[in-house]
């Protein structure tokens, strides 16, 4: 079991040499610096604390400054806890990089979906609207709260009503890594990832058993191909 923190940068598409197109989400993975460890003896569980992305010290509280000062590392944007036997051996001051996950691996991605504020049932749950005529007094209301004649003195829990929509934690299972580039510090995963651009996401080993290994073709390096074509034209 292993996990790492990254930042969603947006979506694009990449191609294999045979023309296969992969819609991918670009996840920037900066070095995750270990700033602390949780132990079973003291905390009841095992995990490591990591800091992600540098941040000026003047923006932190005294308590946060003390944590980074004790660890002897630069101040970070945020702290997260990561679990996994494959990364627990890391000591304070060491880093996790995106080469932790390889091309072709399957991962689970945990993030928070976009926040929509206070919304009605039509936007939130795609309910039907009422008649649009001027004489109708019912356009976008929630409708009846009755329970088919039983227990009509109460509203059953789980009833779709207006309310706050997002941001809620969402986990996407069994996502394929199309490319992991340790030199440039990014991971391309197939399909979409919850959350807006610049959102923090966690990549972890899958919790469900994989019955077949996904086939990932080598990605075409467009920049290298253009450079080669330009050299041929120059000749």
Please state which CATH number belongs to domain 3-115+169-234: 2.40.30.10
41 by Cβ neighbours in 10 Å (0-12 / 13-18 / 19+) ranks as: exposed
Degrees (nearest 5) of the Cα angle 225, 227, 230? 110
Q: How far is CA 157 from the centre of its chain?
A: 30
The model's pLDDT over 46-74, given as tens digits with 9 standing for 90+, comes to 999 999 998 888 898 999 899 899 888 88
d(CA 22, CA 11): 11
Closest CA to 98 of 181, 179, 7, 202: 181
The model's pLDDT over 142-190, given as tens digits with 9 standing for 90+, comes to 888 877 766 667 888 888 999 999 889 999 999 999 999 988 999 999 9
Cis peptide before 167 (omega within 30 of 0): yes
* Domain boundaries defined on the chain: 3-115+169-234, 116-165
Beta bridge partners of 200: 7
d(CA 126, CA 36): 45
Pairing type for strands 76-82 and 47-54 reads antiparallel
Q: What is the pLDDT of residue 230?
A: 64
Contact (Cβ atoms closer than 8 angstroms) between residue 177 and residue 105:
yes
Q: What is the pLDDT of residue 11?
A: 93
d(CA 129, CA 206): 41
Q: What is the pLDDT of residue 226?
A: 61
Q: How confident is the model at residue 214 (pLDDT cuts 50, 70, 90)?
A: confident
- Tokens standing for 179? 């490319």
- pTM for the model: 0.82
């Amino acid at each position: 079991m292993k996990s790492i923190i990254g930042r969603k940068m947006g979506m694009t598409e990449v191609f294999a040499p045979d023309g296969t197109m992969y819609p991918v989400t670009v996840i920037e993975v900066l070095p995750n610096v270990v700033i602390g460890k949780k132990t079973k003896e003291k905390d009841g569980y095992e995990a490591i604390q990591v800091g992600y992305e540098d941040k000026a010290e003047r923006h932190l509280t005294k308590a946060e400054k003390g944590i980074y000062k004790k660890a002897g590392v630069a101040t970070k944007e945020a702290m997260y806890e990561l679990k996994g036997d494959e990364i627990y051996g890391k000591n304070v001051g060491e880093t996790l990089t995106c080469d932790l996950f390889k091309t072709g691996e399957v991962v689970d991605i945990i993030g928070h979906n976009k926040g929509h504020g206070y919304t009605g049932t039509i936007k939130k749950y795609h309910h039907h609207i009422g008649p649009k005529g001027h004489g109708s007094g019912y356009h976008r209301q929630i409708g009846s709260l009755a329970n088919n004649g039983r227990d009509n003195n109460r509203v059953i829990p789980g009833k779709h009503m207006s309310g706050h929509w997002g941001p809620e934690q969402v986990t996407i299972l069994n996502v394929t890594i199309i490319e992991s580039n340790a030199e440039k510090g990014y991971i391309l995963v197939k399909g979409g990832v919850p959350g807006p651009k610049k959102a923090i996401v966690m990549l972890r080993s899958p919790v469900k058993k994989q019955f077949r290994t996904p086939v990932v073709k080598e990605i075409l390096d467009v920049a290298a191909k253009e450079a080669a074509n330009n050299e041929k034209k120059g000749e």
